[in-house]
Structure 1
Amino acid sequence: MSKIALITGATSGIGEACAELFAANGYNLILTGRRKDRLKSLAEKLNKTYNVEIAEAAFDVRNRNAVHDNLNNLPPEWRNIDVLINNAGLSQGLDPVHEGDVTDWDTMIDTNVKGLLYVTKIVSGWMTGRKKGHIVNIGSIAGKEVYPKGNVYCATKHAVDALSQAMRIDLLPYGIRVTAIHPGAVETEFSEVRFKGDKERAKAVYKGYEPLVAADIADAIWYAVSRPPHVNINDMLIMPTAQANATNWNKK
């Protein structure tokens, strides 16, 4: 059987771009996401275009029971996962901490931290049994710096950075590679989700400069995954040329 990659949050943005690139390189895929219709459409397209096998699992990573049930119901041959891409993540709101929405906080913590842990616990358990695998966690520039009104989102991405370092230590005896990819501004549905469907406000985030696109990050992930087995890319911070850090830009 071909190599297998499991990608969370595969229905859009970086996750969808990864699915396309990994399928183009002959990987069979386990695609997860909340939107069943998008999963089905993507799976059909990739199967037709690249003749790879696709398993779909529609669930929300925040739901521990759904993660457990969907992953543990995979046929045994689909559990031989070579690459796990923990891509599912989001931001909600942009408010100072004293004005923050607690529901937004819960959504970010449950998705970006707990959801990543729920999936990783199961898949890393399979990988340790085989003494083989590669885990790629999608962090953010927000996991390296803190910016105004980014408080809880930044905290969750700092957690992803810390967890990536901890996983690297814990999984070292099993030969499992762990990579953290930290993008700056990437034009996806991210800002639209952050601003809860306000398309105009979301578009304004990317005006005046050329942001990264999802394929740029997928390309970086593929680079890390395709290195020889003795090489691990621990950490990669990727920015648009027009962005120096979380708060400084060269906008026209």
Structure 2
Amino acid sequence: MKIALITGATAGFGEACAERFAKEGYHLVITGRRAERLQEVQQQLEQQYKVKVKTLVFDVRDKAAVETALGSLEDAWRAIDVLVNNAGLALDLSTIDEGNTEDWDTMLDTNVKGLLYVSRTVIPWMRDRRKGHIVNIGSTAAKTVYAKGNVYCASKAAVDALSQGMRIDLLPYNIKVTAVHPGAAETEFSLVRFKGDASRAKDVYKGFTPLSGKDVADVVFYCCSLPPHVCINDLVVTPTAQANAYYIHR
């Protein structure tokens, strides 16, 4: 059986990726902080696609929780073919001199350290099998820094650099690494960034058609469906109306 592990699978890109891989017959390990929501996703996918879905509830920022949860997986579930490091977030928009340092910690701990904690646990399993594919979800913010995006942009630039480093270090083990950098996508992203302000979140997508979670999940799966000798290292995907993190035609 093929197995995909997807972090942050309770909504947005993560949930869409879980559905896309389940549709293709992958069994899943899905993680997130919201136990009830994870259970809902599990039940839906198992019923609709007749695959096995295991849920692990933890915060990727918590190193001990990551190691304990993933360490609880039985040997059969450790044969992970695809790891999608999706868990991530942006918090607020503020200039560097007025930034909330707690928000900074949350973004860096989730987007960078959380990705590292999960990867550090899973990679040895892939290394031992001499196969696997890691997909790191970045952002156009990794490529183009925009006003008041400072720390979020830095965290996604780190994902970009880490993806390149992983690709180099894992070459001897036949492990693929792909960074997928989405542009404007209408998920819970802006609602989280603006701390529940639905009106402000909605305004982000006015005047153009943004990406959906499904659009990004389709791209992620495509990257993972290529022949064994083909690896997409780095991919930027945006709405047609968006050129980069800064330029959007509305």
Bin of the TM-score, shorter chain as denominator length: over 0.9
Over residues 34-67 of structure 1, what are the superposed CA-to-partner deviations in whole Å (9 max), with x where a residue is unaligned? 0000000100010001110011001100000100
Instruction: Quote the offset at 1:250 in angstroms.
Output: 1.2
- Which residue identity lines up with residue 167 of structure 1 in the other structure? M
Query: Is 1:156 the counterpart of 2:190 in the alignment?
Result: no
Distance in 1 between residues matched to 2:168 and 2:75, nearest whole Å: 27
- Summarize the alignment of residues 65-80 of structure 1 with structure 2, pairs less than 5 Å apart: 65-80=64-79
Instruction: Quote the offset at 1:182 in angstroms.
Output: 0.3
Over residues 52-83 of structure 1, what are the superposed CA-to-partner deviations in whole Å (9 max), with x where a residue is unaligned? 00110011000001000000011110000000
Residue number in structure 2 paired with 1:90: 89
Residue number in structure 1 paired with 2:59: 60
Residue number in structure 2 paired with 1:8: 7
- For structure 2, list consecutive stretches of 5 or more residues without a partner in the other structure: none
Distance in 1 between residues matched to 2:247 and 2:83, nearest whole Å: 32
Distance in 2 between residues matched to 1:25 and 1:244, nearest whole Å: 31
SS in 1 for 2:120: helix
Structure 1 stretches of 4+ with a deviation exceeding 6 A read none
- Summarize the alignment of residues 117-136 of structure 1 with structure 2, pairs less than 5 Å apart: 117-136=116-135
Distance in 2 between residues matched to 1:30 and 1:42, nearest whole Å: 11
Distance in 2 between residues matched to 1:202 and 1:16, nearest whole Å: 20
Residue number in structure 1 paired with 2:145: 146
Distance in 2 between residues matched to 1:249 and 1:190, nearest whole Å: 17
Contact conserved, 2:182 with 2:238, CA < 8 A, in 1?
yes
Query: Is 1:218 the counterpart of 2:224 in the alignment?
Result: no
Distance in 2 between residues matched to 1:249 and 1:116, nearest whole Å: 29
- Which residue identity lines up with residue 238 of structure 1 in the other structure? V
| TM-score calculated relative to the size of structure 2 | 0.99
- For structure 1, list consecutive stretches of 5 or more residues without a partner in the other structure: none
Distance in 2 between residues matched to 1:23 and 1:170, nearest whole Å: 29
- Which residue identity lines up with residue 177 of structure 1 in the other structure? K
Once superposed, what is the RMSD of the aligned Cα atoms? Answer: 0.4
Residue number in structure 2 paired with 1:168: 167
Distance in 2 between residues matched to 1:20 and 1:214, nearest whole Å: 10
Instruction: Quote the offset at 1:100 in angstroms.
Output: 0.1
Residue number in structure 2 paired with 1:49: 48
- Count of residue pairs brought into register by the alignment: 250
Instruction: Quote the offset at 1:177 in angstroms.
Output: 0.1
Distance in 2 between residues matched to 1:53 and 1:246, nearest whole Å: 37
| TM-score calculated relative to the size of structure 1 | 0.99
Residue number in structure 1 paired with 2:20: 21
Instruction: Quote the offset at 1:246 in angstroms.
Output: 1.4
Residue number in structure 2 paired with 1:249: 248
Query: Percent identity, aligned pairs only?
Result: 62
Residue number in structure 1 paired with 2:176: 177
Distance in 2 between residues matched to 1:59 and 1:246, nearest whole Å: 30
Instruction: Quote the offset at 1:224 in angstroms.
Output: 0.3
Contact conserved, 2:93 with 2:148, CA < 8 A, in 1?
yes
